[in-house]
Structure 1
Amino acid sequence: MSGRRLEPLTLDSLPDLPTPCRSCVFWELAPVAAQQAERTGDTAFEKEAWLSAALLDWGSVGRIAYVDDVPAGYLMYAPAYLVPRSIAFPTAPVSGDAVLLMTGRVVAGYTGGGLGRMLVQGVAKDLTRRGVRAIEAFGWETSTDRARLQSAGGCVLPADFLRSVGFKTVRPHPRHPRLRLDLRTTLSWREDVEQALERILGSVRAPVLSGP
């Protein structure tokens, strides 16, 4: 069996994100500022600046999956106040007790092996240990808007993927529902955190997670 591990996203590991993702600022900047950064070619600088500030302000905001030491996927997450794009969604705002799951990807060649579910578990474990009550995400109903999803670079996670790993819709929308994974139950079980999260997520099989 191949060696699989998760590591926190840091400034040193930022280059391990897939090529379009390591300099994408879809979530990190407000829409107008993101467009300006794209025009001036400053997206890589802005991405690094955002990550540096977020790490100092709040701590870990991402997990990278490695398979035999090769970067194979990632997820990013942060409180909504650190994510300017979050207020632009029609189902905003994120609940006050939740952290926003922003975006992620499993690299081609590593899809279909459960890395998406493994990444969600890693994020949930980290946030549970930090006392966070829930994770929320803005999904994309890809079946109704495939062409626009592709044109946006896949920066929004597919709603079907989120549902498959335990998220529930809390505010419906034909394109961008807001979904939630409640971690409060886990905290009340008085079990080891990893065992509790395995009960929530371990029995579901994630579909292929693709994206930017």
Structure 2
Amino acid sequence: MDGPVARVGRREVRLLTPDTVADLVGSCAPCTYWQTLPRNGYRGGPEPLTLLTEWVRAVTDDWGPPGRVVYLEGAPVGHVLLAPARHVPRLAAFATGPSDPATVMLVALAVADRSRGRGLRKTLVQAAAKDALRHRARSLDAIGARPSALGHHPCIPELADLQRAGFHVQREHPSYPRLRLDLRNALTLRDEAAELLSRALARVPKVHPVPETPHPDGATRARVRDRG
């Protein structure tokens, strides 16, 4: 299981905590669009940063850290937010919202303009998928905005961005379809890759794969021991 920090080269992918809410990036950060009721926003209530911090604390207490922040050379450059549908009030405004309150939803995926083209979106989606798998989720859903709806609110992920990250339309809508990343397929592919690697290493003289305890997210890993 990844710890609070997963290092990828000079990148650090850290769990979102109440103390790191201020590190969220993008034109819509900090934003409480998904954390508030439709047409309610945050006017007349707590400041966005305060309300979002309270939301992160509440989700963490009930389910676990609701996202990741990626840092490049110590500076925050992107984030992803995810949580069970029961913690995302704004879903009530969407006809494609899930009926199951336990459905794990990806509600934000942002990368700073200066850091685009570095594969950070893929890194963040992979981190979110692993977090969802640890909660035994079979899929990760998201509401996506088609091009005709992009200008309505900047905090709704773009359909194209989600599709490039591996999501597929689960429920159609002319403006806001619901997409899904099937985590069971992702898990199967990882298992198959591990098995192929194990077979390849078995054919190399004096190198034998040694199985380890299954990973908590269900994937099986193998390490190599040189008996020579």
TM normalised by structure 1 equals 0.80
2:140 pairs with 1:140: no
Higher-RCO chain (CA-CA 8 Å, sequence separation at least 6): 1
Q: 1:19 to 1:111 in 2, by over 3 A?
A: closer
Whichever structure has more helix as a proportion of its residues is 1
Q: 1:20 to 1:73 in 2, by over 3 A?
A: same
User: What is the number of residues matched between the two proteins?
Assistant: 189
C-alpha displacement of 1:92: 1.7
Instruction: Name the structure 1 match of 2:64.
Output: 59
Q: Secondary structure at the match of 1:109?
A: helix
Instruction: Name the structure 2 match of 1:156.
Output: 156
C-alpha displacement of 1:98: 3.2
Is the 8 Å Cα contact of residues 26 and 110 (structure 2) preserved in structure 1? no
1:135 alignment partner AA: L
Instruction: Name the structure 1 match of 2:135.
Output: 130
Q: 1:12 to 1:160 in 2, by over 3 A?
A: same
2:55 pairs with 1:50: yes
The one of 20, 28, 41 aligned to 1:13: 20
Give CA deviations for 1:26-72 in whole Å, capped at 9, x if unaligned: 001112432xx224563222111111111111111011011111100
What stretches of structure 2 of length at least 5 have no aligned partner? 1-7, 195-214, 220-228
Q: 1:74 to 1:164 in 2, by over 3 A?
A: same
Q: Secondary structure at the match of 1:100?
A: strand
Instruction: Name the structure 1 match of 2:180.
Output: 180
Is the 8 Å Cα contact of residues 97 and 134 (structure 1) preserved in structure 2? no
Instruction: Name the structure 2 match of 1:201.
Output: none
C-alpha displacement of 1:4: 1.0
Q: Which moved more, 1:122-131 or 1:14-23?
A: 14-23
Q: Which whole-Å CA distance do the structure 1 matches of 2:131 and 2:138 have between them?
A: 12
Is the 8 Å Cα contact of residues 139 and 180 (structure 2) preserved in structure 1? yes
Q: Secondary structure at the match of 2:22?
A: helix
Runs of 4+ with >6 A deviation: none
Is the 8 Å Cα contact of residues 86 and 101 (structure 2) preserved in structure 1? no
Whichever structure has more strand as a proportion of its residues is 2
What stretches of structure 1 of length at least 5 have no aligned partner? 197-212
